[in-house]
Chain A
């Protein structure tokens, strides 16, 4: 089947097998290997991306279901060399160790903050329940998400949490 998908600001048109998962399409066809696969039962959340602005586990979406949609991955978050505030907060709060869960965790955290810009600690913990991390014990992840919420308050640039619109996102900067 032919699909047309915009991923991190670039539009692609491809023939895909009906059974191909969105995450396989991202990794194997587009080389978007920043999004990873951690399980085969949609429990770990490592593959979380945004589909039309909302977080989805890309192992639970068929590529064909993304036809006509806009996808944002971890690789499309930083803009013009500037990290997204959630990325920056993960770095500043030492919210990652091996980093394998980090892309999914960051994408889920952004979605959580879009729904609830000032989450309590408990709300963050509940909101990240579908994303597993084996390294950090979550404490610094929770801290990072709340820190990011502070940074994204009005005046700190609220538009940064809306990645679905006009997210050209061509620059994947490092930059500390």
Chain B
């Protein structure tokens, strides 16, 4: 019998998830209604730093429909401190992080009191009636000022605004030379030594579904529904933070409307909803408004980057030194301090670098705390090195692709151990670059650029390059351990073979838009040879998917998907024993293809569904074999995976207005083997949109009092369809060698790669006018200033377009 089924892996299956999402049959957390459900609203501090001198909730308590009003004082004994699972150094300064402020607030938006009422409207009305007197304290907003002697302190008890300093030095680690010596020698020889300061502006993840939590305390277990990326971590952390036995908590992530790292958190509101519901004994729901989300859900990025790059005059890289300041904001969230450290291994990128030193100082300020946002540390690193490579090319008068090629790891040099100590398993930078140049028509655009420069056109053309790699599939537990991360990075999967031959796959990965139900179905259908439609994927509930590490860091497929594939292998192993028994042959004589065990050289065989029924009936099983085909696997990869690619951006810059228009964008990504090309392409599109948004549109801006002035979607410029170009995407395929599926992960690639490609294009367009940098986002005002001030224009932030609504194309309405 010949298998005629189309292979599932690599097939552009339309998604299983869509049916409910396109018809409104969705289960967002805010949709959940339970008998007796109450509603919670949160009062937030309007000030960035103040003592709470008086809080009067009497008026609120007596309002109609109000069940309870709770303050920090009421909960001080129970609320514990919100968890930070990543103490990056043994001496890290780690403040108490109360869910409700007790006597002091440290950022505008910090929860101060909560109301539980019959309806959401009554709860919000009562919040308005709470009267708080604040005593102003000095506000610390600027990272460099925060570290200066005599700066006011965000946390008086810590005695410093310095959270921690984390260093990697290739000389000390034995992975390379001493960079200070290398740079000094380069200076002596008259080699190229470039120094630059880049600003990674603060961003807001801005997932479309506002966060929501429902807690039902009426059962034996307390059940929490939450719009979270991390139901398993959340359960564990609730248990550890609140001292509730872990088995008494069940967490469910129902349909979750995007996360991008922004829902990788244990939030004050999750803790508060839990405590309020438990105290009152009735189910309680909290759903944030968008404005609340903007000020209080964690932000991302926010670094000052200082880089020194040494290279020979022929373009060969000699050494790179990186000094970062990273803004923690006022508190440490779940993985806040570790985010910039994830970049430590990526500044060297795809290049053969003899010497490298990375130092990052984490700083407290009176702002919303930061944490993971798509890419988490790696976009920052990629931005800096890819900007530097363009600067080097400009310094040497070379083509930026030529300088890169001169220094990158050649495809025959893999596996390659980098100066940061990681081993890249596979890649082919030449192939991806070649394809990108072809699709982009690189030479033709360079010619046009030269012509426009010569003519002195008002609208100049720039070409931006980004040849990136990333470490993803956040896993190897031993590596995470060596970085002092508080948990492992494995993933769990289980397969239940049902009596009718249908299959349930349980995954510990927790999707929120990625399409796990479709992709996992394809993997399992391929492995077991069962129809795609016969596979049901179960996730996001600690009761049914009892074990997991959830979804972030492009890890779902390369860790969780691989775990599921391995579990399927175990099912086949178990089924094989029973099949051999039923077919009265030796297991060695069996071959398993397309869902069927066949006896080699005969026409005898049995389908896996028949074996599943035989295992269920259990009437006739071989000696010592359990009546079950079910299997589970917890997979911990030996290494990260390293997707890579080449992104090319052509941008037109109007030198008279500073307006930037992306004319074409080509990316060729290598994400290893692909399960579903449709989903991969979608992930790339979305990633590009977010990376381009960082380059051109988005910035969380605080005024001098520490108030977020971009606290609505009218001011914080999430781009619309009218603000983005059509992307040309393609792939090359170098399978990962570190997992049996050969997959690498794709969730963050677009975001990581695109930001420097766009900014490089903007700078390239106006470099001949004396510009060598433009701060992000490259708003018309900033670009215009850079052109008109000329060389080295890195204008001060407040003066040049760092304001709400700074530069979105669509905001002035015109057709582009």
Contacts and interface: CB of A to CB of B under 8 A. Distances in A.
A87 B21 CA distance: 10
Interface stretch (B104-112, B136-144, B460-468, B717-725): B717-725
B18 A135 contact: no
Interface in A53-99: 73-75, 77-78, 83, 87, 90-92, 94, 96-99
A141 interface: yes
A136 B31 contact: no
Contacts of A141: 721
B491 interface: no
Contacts of A152: none
A125 B722 CA distance: 5
Given A34-B26, A41-B290, A132-B208, A100 B815 contact: no
A100 B209 contact: yes
Nearest to A92: B14
Contacts of A27: 31
B26 A174 contact: no
Contacts of B722: 125-126, 128-129
A92 B14 CA distance: 6
Interface string B673-697: 0000011011101111110000000
B15 interface: yes
Given A38-B208, A94-B678, A174 B20 contact: yes
Contacts of B795: none
A43 to B, nearest CB: 4
Contact of B290 (A19, A38, A83, A103): A38
Contacts of B23: 34, 74-75, 77-78, 83, 87, 172-174
Given A41-B713, A100-B258, A134-B260, A176 B19 contact: yes
Contacts of B359: none
Q: Which of B22, B26, B30, B689 has the most CB of A within 10 A?
A: B22
B512 interface: yes
Interface in B502-518: 512-515
B718 to A, nearest CB: 5
Contacts of B257: 36, 98-100
Given A40-B289, A129-B722, A98 B208 contact: yes
Contacts of A94: 14-15, 678-679, 681-682
Contacts of B810: 129
Interface in B459-495: none
B713 A132 contact: yes
Q: Which of A38, A43, A44, A100 has the most CB of B within 10 A?
A: A100
A140 interface: yes
Contact of B291 (A17, A40, A173): A40
Nearest to A139: B685
B689 A138 contact: yes
A130 B721 CA distance: 9
Contact of B22 (A40, A87, A135, A136): A87
A99 B290 contact: no
B256 interface: yes
Interface in A154-176: 172-176
B712 A106 contact: no
Q: Which of B17, B209, B683, B690 has the most CB of A within 10 A?
A: B209
A127 to B, nearest CB: 8
Contacts of B416: none
A-side interface mostly: loop
Contacts of A19: 121
Interface in A135-152: 135-142
A174 B28 CA distance: 17
A95 to B, nearest CB: 9
Contacts of B727: 137, 139
Contacts, number: 191
A44 to B, nearest CB: 6
Contacts of B3: none
Contact of A99 (B16, B26, B682, B724): B26
A154 to B, nearest CB: 24
B714 interface: yes
Nearest to B31: A33
B720 A130 contact: yes
Interface in A4-52: 17, 19, 27, 31-41, 43-44, 46
Q: Which of B30, B679, B683, B722 has the most CB of A within 10 A?
A: B722
**Chain A contact patch, size range:** 35 or more
A128 to B, nearest CB: 5
Contact of A138 (B19, B513, B724): B724
Contacts of A43: 712-714
B-side interface mostly: loop
A90 B22 CA distance: 8
A33 to B, nearest CB: 4
A99 to B, nearest CB: 3
B255 interface: yes
B210 interface: yes
Contact of A134 (B121, B514, B679, B686): B686
Contact of A137 (B207, B514, B686, B815): B686
Interface string A102-131: 110010000000000000011011101111
A175 B533 CA distance: 12
A79 to B, nearest CB: 11
B189 interface: no
B685 A140 contact: yes
B513 A97 contact: yes
Given A131-B720, A137-B727, A172 B207 contact: no
Nearest to A43: B713
Given A129-B720, A174-B23, A98 B512 contact: yes
B18 A99 contact: yes
Q: Which of B685, B714, B720, B750 has the most CB of A within 10 A?
A: B720
Contact of B209 (A96, A98, A122, A125): A98
B682 A36 contact: no
A37 B210 contact: yes
Contacts of B290: 38-41, 44
A128 B23 CA distance: 19
B163 interface: no
Contacts of B21: 96, 99, 102
Given A38-B208, A43-B712, A140-B682, A135 B721 contact: no
Q: Which of A75, A94, A128 has the most CB of B within 10 A?
A: A94
Nearest to A45: B720
Given A98-B258, A99-B513, A173-B23, A129 B14 contact: no
B303 to A, nearest CB: 22
A37 B29 CA distance: 12
A75 B24 contact: yes
B657 interface: no
A134 B204 CA distance: 12
Contacts of B678: 94
B14 A83 contact: no
Contacts of A133: 208, 721
B25 interface: yes
Nearest to B24: A34
A132 B718 CA distance: 7
A102 B714 contact: no
A132 B24 contact: no
B311 interface: no
Q: Which of B15, B18, B26, B721 has the most CB of A within 10 A?
A: B721
A43 B718 CA distance: 10
10 contacts: A17-B121, A33-B30, A94-B15, A98-B512, A100-B207, A102-B21, A136-B689, A138-B721, A172-B23, A174-B23
Given A34-B25, A139-B685, 9 more contacts: A33-B28, A43-B712, A98-B257, A98-B258, A106-B22, A126-B722, A137-B685, A137-B686, A175-B19
Interface of B: 14-26, 28, 30-31, 33, 121, 206-210, 255-258, 260, 289-291, 512-515, 678-679, 681-683, 685-690, 712-714, 718, 720-722, 724, 726-727, 750, 810, 815
Counting from the closest, the 5 A-B pairs by CB-CB distance are: A34-B24, A98-B513, A99-B21, A100-B257, A137-B689
